[in-house]
Amino acid sequence: MKELLLKLCTIPAVSGREEKLSEFILSEIKGFCDALVDRQGNIICFKKGKKRPVKRVVFDAHTDEVGIIVTSVTSDGFVKFTTVGGIETAVMLCRGVTFENGVKGVVGMKPVHLSSTEERKKYPEKDSLYIDIGAASKEEAEKLIKPGDTAVFDSEPVLMGDRLKARAIDDRAGVACLISLLKREAEYDFYVTFTVQEEIGTRGAQTAAFGLDAEVAISLEATTAADLEGVAEEKQVCRLSKGPAVSFMDKGNLYTRSLYDFALSCGEKCQPKAYIAGGNNSRAFALSKEGLSTLAVSLPCRYLHSPSCVADLTDFEAMLPLCERLLCAIAGGEVL
């Protein structure tokens, strides 16, 4: 799975521009399941198992990532932009970016030596930033870039022992795990959804969930690991090397208690997500039709939504056996 994750982290897929990644996913799962692409761009998969399930389960991972989108071009040929999804200003400054058409640029800011004492004490306002693509005029820039074009930060995957530094580990980890799950022989029938536009509000999951005949949804995600110098233990959320994190509650959902308890007790390596923060596609599934039971299984990840996310590969590799155990227990009637 490691090589698959590394490959996935190199494919750009800003929210609303997930096509390249979707094409790759479809090529990987061809022949292992029945799959279709809905009008929203979600990939909906059905995996035939040896048995029909007592409870119908869907596993979900989102295909999109945070990025930037062009809003205008200045008279001097600089590109103005806004963020797609939550990106802190600090992680963007002077970073290289690549647009959909291959054009390169760098996020620029006012030079430090021209900044006032007060300006140096804080990060610049996000709307003061621009992208320098090397154009000398508006006309030259507009031959390369137009409003609505998206870009991702330049960041090649780097292995650091058992840890990986890469862009878009959120949520390529979930995607890689579910591709691998679909390729394995299944004890029970189940669904998988690879959903779009999670970073701007779970738009894809809302339509995918509505079209499924499922009773239980398990969202595979990446989540903040704040096990860092200077962060109080109770605010660290989860820690690297302690296994996938399972949530009891976040800002968008209150998870099914029996699923949470079972995940922590079933013998697979995992940890609680011990802080109420964030949200994911599980909310859309929980609110679809008459409602689904939900659980989130997340890969702990430092520096989330940055060009340099860091995750532990042993945590990542523990996600697949945990998902298989959950599938067998839920579909077989052992839990719920």
Any idea which residues carry the catalytic annotation?
198
Nearest to 298 by CA among 221, 225, 202, 230: 221
Judge whether 178 and 8 are in contact, CB under 8 Å.
Answer: no
SS3 category, 30: strand
Residues 6+ apart with CB under 8 A from 3: none
C-beta separation of 43 from 177 below 8 A: no
Q: How many CB atoms are located within 10 Å of the residue 46 CB?
A: 15
- Cα distances (Å, whole numbers) of residue 182 to 75, 191, 321: 51, 9, 13
Question: Angle of helix 19-29 relative to helix 169-183, nearest 10 degrees?
Answer: 20
Do 244 and 319 meet the contact criterion of CB atoms below 8 Å apart? Answer: yes
Place of tokens 């890689």: 176
Distance CA 328, CA 265 (A): 15
Cα 288–chain centre separation: 21
Interatomic CA distance for residues 89 and 93, integer angstroms: 7
Is residue 158 within 8 A of residue 308, CB to CB? The reply is no
Instruction: Identify the sign of the CA torsion 260, 264, 268, 269.
Output: positive
- For 252, other C-beta atoms within 10 Å of its C-beta total 18
189-35-203 Cα angle (round to 5): 100
